[in-house]
Structure 1
Amino acid sequence: MNYEKLIDEETWAFIRRTDELLPSEDPPAPLTERRRLYDAWSNEFRARRPSGVDTEDRDANGVPVRVYTVGQPTCTVLFCHGGGFVFGGLNSHDDICAEIAAHTGYRVVAVDYRLAPEYPHPAAFEDCWQALTWTQSSFQGGVVLFGDSAGANLCAALAHKARSSMAELLGQVLVYPLLGKVSDTPSYQEHMSAPMLTRADLLQMQQLRQMGNGESADASFAPLEDLDFADLVPTVAFSADCDPLRDDARLYVEKLLAAGGKAHWVNEAGLVHSYLRARHEVRRAGESFERITLAVEALGQGIWSWD
């Protein structure tokens, strides 16, 4: 794959800076050190919170959450962060949540779910479910699910479980989502050695997530493995074209459409996994973040404009 032609110089600068902050090592560094480096990388690209955004750390049925508000929100965004189920927390994606709140006017509830391998699947999913039920009982106006990478997996898993019990779930926005088990889709083959995320990285994260629990094929682990895609909420899925996970978004949207649902796939040309970090440095990433924000806003208003 000729990434020199596919990826522009702005994005390459982001990739090079990431490689400096998150160097690949063989064997890998201890997990505590890798988490420290991940947090430092997140902080390096962290933007200042927009003015007017208030935050409060709260307890959601035993799960730590951070609530972002601007004015009088009409609905709530439940945000599940990425990080391969192994990295991240309330601070790693704080600026993204604050900007979503500022741009949409919606309340944002960010979930600090338990991480693998200390807490293997389904711990993260169970925490997100607790946070969702708390959010729906605490605030009026409905909920939009929003997550990136592993967080998008958790959002989709919530949508599958919630479809028969939560009428106030308004939609979901999934950004470069991990939705299936590591497989041989075209994007896994084309981009197995892509910048920012490789097939080997995904295999390692999935192993840490399971930690000897055997084969996980249920929808709470891999939503693409579900046998029923009917009655799911309106979904907008964004993928990075230079990413082994690109086809997870495509396949998920295809299954939703085949089941008669509302779903739309946006494949962002020339972008790589984790591009949300670069939204203020890379023009393409910033334009995609604007499309993502507009999708969150539209679903919160019950608007579907992708047919």
Structure 2
Amino acid sequence: MDSRRSRPMPTEREILAFHERCEAFYPADAVTASISQQRQWYDALCAEFDAPSPEGLTRRDALVARRIPIRHYRPAEVATAVRVLYIHGGGFVVGSLESHDAICAELAHGVRAELISVDYRLAPEHVWPAAFDDCSAVLESLLADGRPLVAVGDSAGGNLVAGIVLKAKARGLSGIIGQALVYPGLGGDLVSGSYAEMAEAPGLSTTDVAYYREVLKAPADDVFAYPLKAAELSGLPPTYITGAHFDPLRDDARGYAVRLAQAGVDVTYREEPQMIHAWLRARHMSPGARAGFDHLVRGVARLVGAL
């Protein structure tokens, strides 16, 4: 019997069409391709779902510590002095300033806030804690001028956001007034809950998650790499978390939201019932993804005080 017939699948027609378009970018033997080739496929895939830049928005590229590329987005209308730090996903292996450029532009425009995106070092060339250190360095450089910020990240970027915010709290850094995690991977056990139920979900499998962890090579007991293992979450800033129902990482998002609430943190959790991993890219072709993105924009806008 074809095992694909038993895979958990959403029923929304448009998100299924999105998934098919994504799958078409990768040959059947994609996992055996070089990392360089995988990055090319991923960038081409992301470009497929690009959208026109919001009118009046400007971009400016720069370096932090003379080595970490960042991209600064300023929308035509800025309603707050609070900035947004955005950390892209891609399993710590793929992704760039370009892959998430349209998402960052639309988020900055919708939130009406300046946004800074980070081009951190990728594995396997740069294993843990390279990406974490890059993102922490950018965070600290932004906080140095005294302006507050909200940190946002998707997937691996959600993991990095949760980790650097935990580290900032441990170091007593001030100025982080919110965080938003989009289908984050936070260190679940890989064998229970959504890791079992959604092991073969479209867009990301539990095997994929295990592969990315192996490539990253983060110590299993490092709470900054696996925030679900942190013993103490009180004192973290207000948090918006959104998960996808058809995603092995779903229970990481659910579990972190529950633990934050239990620790007294102001947390909002939203789960997209028909969405798969990486639904942000589907925001212009899927009603469910569009709704999820609209809620994300409003959630971040509340965190920055623009709503």
TM-score interval for Structure 1 and Structure 2 normalised by the shorter chain: over 0.9
Partner of 1:56: 60
Partner of 1:199: 206
Aligned residue pair count:
298
Query: Does the CA-based 8 Å contact 1:178-1:245 persist in structure 2?
Result: yes
Cα distance in 1 for residues equivalent to 2:116 and 2:242: 21
Offset of 1:182 from its aligned partner?
Answer: 4.4
Query: Which residue of 78, 83, 91 corresponds with 1:84?
Result: 91
Query: Which residue of 298, 301, 304 corresponds with 1:300?
Result: 304
| Residues 26 and 50 of structure 1, relative CA distance in 2, 3 Å threshold | closer
The gaps in structure 1 that reach 5 residues or longer are none
Partner of 2:161: 155
Verify: 1:278 aligned to 2:282, yes or no. yes
Cα distance in 2 for residues equivalent to 1:166 and 1:53: 31
SS of residue matched to 2:94: coil
Query: Which residue of 20, 38, 51 corresponds with 1:34?
Result: 38
- What TM-score do the two structures reach when normalised by structure 2? 0.93
Cα distance in 2 for residues equivalent to 1:146 and 1:192: 26
- What TM-score do the two structures reach when normalised by structure 1? 0.93
Offset of 1:202 from its aligned partner?
Answer: 0.7
Give CA deviations for 1:154-186 in whole Å, capped at 9, x if unaligned.
000011011252321111110000011442231
SS of residue matched to 2:202: coil
Give, as a single letter, the amino acid of the residue that structure 1 aligns with 2:166: H
Give CA deviations for 1:113-137 in whole Å, capped at 9, x if unaligned.
0000100011000000000011122
Query: Which residue of 59, 65, 69 corresponds with 2:74?
Result: 69
Give, as a single letter, the amino acid of the residue that structure 2 aligns with 1:237: I
Query: Which residue of 99, 102, 105 corresponds with 1:95?
Result: 102
| Residues 176 and 24 of structure 1, relative CA distance in 2, 3 Å threshold | farther
Query: Does the CA-based 8 Å contact 1:49-1:95 persist in structure 2?
Result: yes
| Residues 35 and 229 of structure 1, relative CA distance in 2, 3 Å threshold | same
Offset of 1:23 from its aligned partner?
Answer: 3.3
Verify: 1:239 aligned to 2:243, yes or no. yes
Offset of 1:105 from its aligned partner?
Answer: 1.3
Partner of 2:149: 143
Offset of 1:2 from its aligned partner?
Answer: 5.9
Farther off after superposition, 116-125 or 226-235: 226-235
Give, as a single letter, the amino acid of the residue that structure 2 aligns with 1:247: D
Cα distance in 1 for residues equivalent to 2:60 and 2:196: 43
Give CA deviations for 1:209-265 in whole Å, capped at 9, x if unaligned.
11xx6x432122111111111111111110000000000011101111111111122
The gaps in structure 2 that reach 5 residues or longer are 1-5
The 5-angstrom pairing of residues 93-172 of structure 1 reads 93-138=100-145, 140=147, 142-164=148-170, 165-172=172-179
